[in-house]
Structure 1
Amino acid sequence: MFSQATFNFLDELAANNERSWFTTNRERYEAVVRAPALDFIAAMAPELQAFAPHFRADPRPTGGSLMRIHRDTRFSRDKRPYKTNVGIQFRHELGKDVHSAGFYMHLASDGCFFGAGCWHPDPAALAGIRARIADHPQRWFAVRDDPQFSAHWVLAGDSLSRPPRGHAADHPAIDDIRRKDFIGLAPLSFAEATGEGLVSLAAQRFAAAMPLLDFLCQPDANSGSSNPAA
């Protein structure tokens, strides 16, 4: 699937991040970046179905699990038009965007990794997750400290410097309640990213993170509806 050619293209794009260069090299992008990414996504569909049936592997070239190569520069001082990494997200079937609960894989020359959880959830979803941890700290600790999860995954992301409003500073889970992101990261080496066992490895890592996703997507106690943290 992915190869040295994938990373060579990303390196060259970083050095020539302009529309004219990308237009000239679009066929290379499609051959060594997009095609292997879509193959990987398609291969992950039956894997996810086995242990995470509510998460979708969508191999469409646009609008699916492969994140856009184009950067959104509307509100950024950085006007470079293209991302220099491959981003793939398998989000919950009810999720609407990258802030939804899901699994993630990141490929770049400066580092590759797997991700799982919710990155920058919207205020309502964030409040719900914090309330769930506050109300069920032991259940949260069981997920966070599960040996199969902690063997490869580390919780990461941003946190508040102070307890959020409505939460006591002495709560036993206050360090986690202060989180603004509920994501785990697991390392992925270059050899693994370009190896034949990538699909199997991704499935193993994501399956180990499933308790985290289950906790984040628990039904809302008030409505009884599924909460994809979206």
Structure 2
Amino acid sequence: MSNDEGIFGPELYEFLEELEANNTREWFDVNRERYEEDVREPAFDLVRAVRPMLEEISLHMTARDRKVGGSLMRVFRDTRFSADKTPYKTNVGIQFRHVRANDVHAPGYYVHLAVDSCFFGAGSWMPDREALAGYRAAIDDHPDVWTLARDRCQTDGWRMEGDRLKRAPRDWSIDHPMIEDLKRKSFIAVRDFDHSKAFDPAFPSQIADWCRETRPLMTFLCGAVGLDF
């Protein structure tokens, strides 16, 4: 691949669109080589390109280019508890996880590539009860630090995303000055990007820039659950 070529090509979305229309094991088996050449290997290339820049941002976030336990999420859907039994995901999901992610529910970064939408996310999506309690306590203890981190992720194309409780969480007063943030079920900053961004040779650098922009949020969330960022 030359320096003026992007890591992904238009074949990425062509494959995902066809997979959505033919989401069967039989079709995927016939097109497995396309998946490996147009999706999996470029995704590994992206992970490898992001890795050195991510290490400059945080020594605790990981970029792993391996088939099992790596940054590229599995193409196979978990259909055990879903009414939708189609076997394959029709998006590419790449996660840059905290080194302690296997031990605790840790914040992370996420890149989503799909025919219908592309976005980057940073933070903690639907944390477990223990992590959620940690985030709420940290917001209560350091409201000014949280507000600065949150507000930085609500400008210049960023938005804070996720559902909130309808009522105040247990043990918290509805009159608390930070009650709308304490109601959050997720603490994640998201920004959409155009599909063609994946074809840009600067895409890895753009991902690194987004990681830098959300560093205050990630630092706050990691600290809230006892992790270094």
TM-score bracket relative to the smaller structure:
over 0.9
Equivalent residue, structure 2, for 1:197: 202
Verify: 1:144 aligned to 2:150, yes or no: yes
CA distance in 2, matches of 1:97, 1:196: 35
Q: Greater shift after overlay, 46-55 or 89-98?
A: 89-98
Verify: 1:72 aligned to 2:73, yes or no: no
In structure 2, what residue type is equivalent to 1:53?
L
Which runs of structure 1 show a deviation greater than 4 angstroms over 4 or more consecutive aligned residues? none
Q: 1:161 to 1:46 in 2, by over 3 A?
A: same
Equivalent residue, structure 1, for 2:48: 42
Which 5+ residue runs of structure 1 have no aligned equivalent?
A: none
SS in 2 for 1:66: coil
Q: Tell me if the contact between 1:98 and 1:119 (Cα under 8 Å) persists in the aligned partners.
A: no
SS in 2 for 1:104: strand
Question: How big is the shift at 1:63?
Answer: 1.4
Question: How big is the shift at 1:100?
Answer: 3.1
Q: Tell me if the contact between 1:2 and 1:32 (Cα under 8 Å) persists in the aligned partners.
A: yes
Equivalent residue, structure 2, for 1:226: 227
Equivalent residue, structure 1, for 2:123: 117
For the aligned residue pairs, the C-alpha RMSD in angstroms reads 1.7
Q: 1:85 to 1:178 in 2, by over 3 A?
A: same
Equivalent residue, structure 2, for 1:184: 189
1:59-105 deviation line (CA, Å, top 9, x unaligned):
11221000000000001111000000000000111012995310110
SS in 2 for 1:217: helix
Work out which of the residue numbers 161, 172, 175 in structure 1 matches 2:180. Answer: 175
Work out which of the residue numbers 57, 62, 73 in structure 2 matches 1:51. Answer: 57
SS in 2 for 1:28: helix
Q: 1:208 to 1:51 in 2, by over 3 A?
A: same
Equivalent residue, structure 2, for 1:13: 19
Equivalent residue, structure 1, for 2:3: none
Which 5+ residue runs of structure 2 have no aligned equivalent?
A: 1-6
TM-score by length of 2: 0.93
Q: Count residues with an aligned counterpart.
A: 223
CA distance in 2, matches of 1:53, 1:100: 14
CA distance in 2, matches of 1:227, 1:123: 20
